[in-house]
A and B are shown apart, each in its own frame.
Chain A
Amino acid sequence: MNSVIRTYELTKTVKGKHIVSNIHLHVKQGEIYGLLGPNGAGKTTIMKMLTGLIIPTSGEIMLFGRKLAETSKESLKRVGSIIEYPIFFEHLTAMENLQIHCEYLGFYDKKAIHRALDMVQLKGIENQKVKDFSLGMKQRLGIARAAITKPELIVLDEPTNGLDPIGIKDMRDLIRTLNLEYGITFLISSHILGEIEQVADRIGVIRNGRLVNEVSLPDIRQQRTDYIELVTSNVPRTAYLLEHELHITNMKIVQGKKIRIYDEGISVGQISRLLVSQNIEIEEIQKHTSTLEDYFYHQIQGGEQLDQVNGTGMEKAGTH
């Protein structure tokens, strides 16, 4: 599959501080790629560099196989974008904004403007000034502008920010439609997993300006892990018993008094019976299925929320 975006060691430094470091991003043609990370992780900076809004400090961006630089921005003709929030000349009408946009791109097709407005359900209000639009209408107009010239790539930074639930659903449907019907590749950022999970094919996790992982959603779903979580006041002895009596090796201690057991084939009943027979108090025991949220939480937090394994020779859970 062809690459639409490829970056090599993409870095942005501002006043000596690394905002984004050594990003190797790879977005394939026709996919919806989600950039996931907490606020301030560097998602917007990456998107700004990819769309020519800011100049990278170092590294290289290839769009459609061609290098993007200040002196060679031709490939941006094939890109539509909304970065941060939809920006318009507020004193101009929706139609005037779209016409100016098209003329900057050397694209003259009035019918395409009407089609784009129709697609985002803004037909009939094209002669209203943008300053009178609600945020949802501006988002839709932004999508119309991004899609008007039939780009091959659309970059959307937090596209559902400020939208009501219906607006969010409409936006999601629009992204899917443009992707499926027109084959447009999407790069979307969000700090909300639930949002990105519903549209993205692959997700890149950004933490502290670094791309820490790139995974496809079907892969992650396969990796979902079940575990038993046990809360007890005597963790060292419990861990010793689990290892020596039940031969459990794949477990870890979390937050000092919880033990998570990842070994398949061990039931809650077996553990309960052992601990009761050894007179160890069980405060809580429960079977969990780790969710996508757990997976990404761990990715984004870098596992810092999970305690280190104690010194009894236990392994860290393989998938975490």
Chain B
Amino acid sequence: MIKLMELEWRKLERTKVIGEVIFYWVIMMFLPVFFIKVVFAELPTVDFGDSYAAALDLMLLIQAGNLLFGASLINHVFIEEYKNKTIALSFGYPLSRQKLVMAKVLFIAVAVFCCTLVSFLLAGVTTYAVDQVQDVISGVPTLADLLTYAARMIIHSIMIALASLIPLFAFGLWIRLVIPTVICAIVLMQLPTIFSMLRITVNTDLLYSILSILGVASAVLSVKLVNKVGDL
């Protein structure tokens, strides 16, 4: 399976994907500072800059942006392969389609997990570094803050990786359209904001847990039903 995942990576337009990842990382590195210092600066009700513990919530919301990377990978690994018919090459190998789809799904999940993890690290380090110069967040990070950040970084990266698979079955494998896949990822990314605008209080952890389960369900459906909906 690892070999198949490696082959998925080698088939990609790697320069394009790496460029995209770097773009996400750079944007998300500076977004926490930008939000605290610019967007929420005049809003006394928003307290992300009060402490490192409070800033963590903002980090989680921002890192949901990696769902877009998941949508992009669904596009590269599934939709483009169907469009270019290169998927036909894979189907002609002595491997079951279910195994091929499983390798693709795992590749996307692992790639999004790694990308989100690095993004968390870069954003954390950048925010801390800017804070030393610009006084963005009140106080200093405690050991407890750092441990919580590390734990949430891993858990949240897993959740984002799983949730990024939500568009896979319907939009990636079945109707195979890029725009609905991206729109779906944007909506998922903005769900906490949408709920907040509708004045619906939602526990973010619960929300991401549900999204993770939906992502797993989408992946399972894709693997199980590829012979029915994934024909050329």
Contact = CB atoms under 8 A, between A and B. Distances in A.
Contacts of A73: 93-96
Contacts of A105: 93-94
Identify which of B3, B92, B231, B232 gathers the most chain A CB atoms within 10 Å of its CB: B92
A305 to B, nearest CB: 34
A70 B93 CA distance: 11
B10 A100 contact: yes
Contacts of A92: 11
Nearest to B91: A53
A100 B4 CA distance: 10
B7 A104 contact: yes
A88 interface: yes
A83 interface: yes
Interface in B63-117: 84-86, 88-98
A55 B88 contact: no
Contact of B94 (A48, A74, A100): A74
A81 interface: yes
Contacts of B98: 70
Contacts of B89: 87, 101, 104
B148 interface: no
Contacts of B96: 70-71, 73
Contacts of A87: 84-86, 88-89
Contacts of A84: 85
A272 interface: no
Interface string B1-33: 001000100110100000000000000000000
Interface residues of B, number: 22
A75 B94 CA distance: 7
Contact of A96 (B10, B84, B86, B97): B10
A232 interface: no
Contacts of A75: 94
A71 B86 CA distance: 21
B227 to A, nearest CB: 6
A286 to B, nearest CB: 49
Given A73-B96, A89-B86, A104-B95, A55 B231 contact: yes
Contacts of A79: 92
A25 B92 CA distance: 20
Contacts of B94: 73-77, 105
A219 interface: no
A91 B86 CA distance: 12
A217 B107 CA distance: 51
B92 A81 contact: yes
Contacts of A88: 86
A48 B11 contact: no
Contact of A76 (B93, B97, B231): B93
B231 A100 contact: no
B39 to A, nearest CB: 39
Interface residues of A, number: 29
Interface string B173-188: 0000000000000000
A57 B231 CA distance: 12
Contacts of A54: 231-232
Nearest to A85: B85
Contacts of B10: 96, 100
A70 B84 CA distance: 22
B92 A70 contact: no
A73 B90 CA distance: 12
Contact of A83 (B7, B88, B93, B95): B88
A100 B11 contact: yes
B16 to A, nearest CB: 8
A52 interface: yes
A51 interface: yes
Contacts of B11: 89, 92, 100
Contacts of B92: 51-53, 76, 79, 81, 83
A132 interface: no
Nearest to A103: B7
Interface string A86-113: 0111111000100011011100000000
A74 B96 CA distance: 10
* 4 nearest CB pairs, A to B: A76-B94, A73-B94, A104-B93, A77-B94
Interface of B: 3, 7, 10-11, 13, 84-86, 88-98, 227, 231-232
9 contacts: A73-B93, A76-B94, A79-B92, A83-B92, A87-B86, A89-B86, A103-B3, A104-B90, A104-B93
